[in-house]
Amino acid sequence: MNLFSAAFEYIGDPANWSGPTGIGARILEHLWYSLLALVVSAAVAVPLGLLIGHFRRGEAVLVGLVNSLRSLPTLGILTFLVLIMGLGLTPPILALVLLGIPPILAGTYAGIANVDALVVDAAEAVGMTRAQVLGRVQVPNALPLILGGVRNATLQIIATATVAAYVNLGGLGRYIFDGLALRDYPRVLVGALLVAALALIVDGLLALAVWASVPGTGRLRRTGTGKAEGHPSAV
């Protein structure tokens, strides 16, 4: 029996999906770690990106910070955090947060900074405050790029959340680390396939969210002549 057939047989066996250590439970654990890291990353990166993009100050610091965080090895950071904090959920979540911040920060800043200056000037000319300009004008126009950054961060976090198993936590990384320890390579492949499938599914859902956030998407209305407003044939 080759490696792939053994892995697919394991995944296709309903008995391997039930119980606290089954595939279903491991997927939920993996999603929980990923969601927690993503929420913390967004809580840090989105406000910072909004402020830098709106006031157009600190761009050089932003570029340096993003490049520095992207260069950090996640497993090395996790090992360092475990040494100073001990085992538990906090070290892997912090390591994943450092991985998730750069794409969200870059996407948020780029989205706000690239809003047409004429649109911003018009909003200020009608008496909007800075907060109103940011919340009512810049953020809606920047939403596709902001969500694009969240999408990139989510994909990276899900793909890397296997490191939680390195510190004796759960998730799909358990199949990879346990399989390597036991030299059970079909189990390693099971973990890799499940992580890849989960990342692709979530990425597809977020791609739909990014598409739906583009102004005018899916909101074409029919005119009296039977043509959709905003479509080239309607002009």
CA dist 95 and 73 (Å) reads: 9
Q: Return the domain boundaries, the chain.
A: 3-217
For the segment 102-123, the average pLDDT, to the nearest whole number, is 89
| pLDDT single digits (tens) 62-99 | 778 787 888 888 888 998 999 999 888 999 999 999 99
Please state the three-class secondary structure of the chain as a single string.
Answer: CCHHHHHHHHHHCHHHHCCCCCHHHHHHHHHHHHHHHHHHHHHHHHHHHHHHHHHCCCHHHHHHHHHHHHCCCHHHHHHHHHHHHCCCCHHHHHHHHHHHHHHHHHHHHHHHHCCCHHHHHHHHHCCCCHHHHHHHHHHHHHHHHHHHHHHHHHHHHHHHHHHHHHHCCCCCHHHHHHHHHHCCHHHHHHHHHHHHHHHHHHHHHHHHHHHHHCCCCCCCCECCCCCECCCHHHC
CA dist 166 and 82 (Å) reads: 10
- Packing angle, helices 23-55 and 173-182, rounded to 10: 120
| pLDDT single digits (tens) 179-233 | 999 999 999 999 999 999 999 999 999 999 999 888 766 544 443 444 444 443 3
For the segment 28-44, the average pLDDT, to the nearest whole number, is 96
Q: Would you say 161 and 26 are in contact if contact means Cβ atoms under 8 Å apart?
A: no
Specify the residue for token string 């102004």.
215
Q: What is the pLDDT of residue 220?
A: 40
State percent of the chain over pLDDT 90: 54
For the segment 165-181, the average pLDDT, to the nearest whole number, is 92
Mean model confidence pLDDT for the chain = 86
Residues 6+ apart with CB under 8 A from 228: 220, 221, 222, 234
CA quadruple 54, 113, 110, 30: dihedral, nearest 10: 30
Whether the predicted pLDDT of 58 surpasses 80:
no
Classified by CATH at the fold level, domain 3-217 comes out as MetI-like fold (1.10.3720)
Q: What is the pLDDT of residue 217?
A: 62
For the segment 116-130, the average pLDDT, to the nearest whole number, is 84
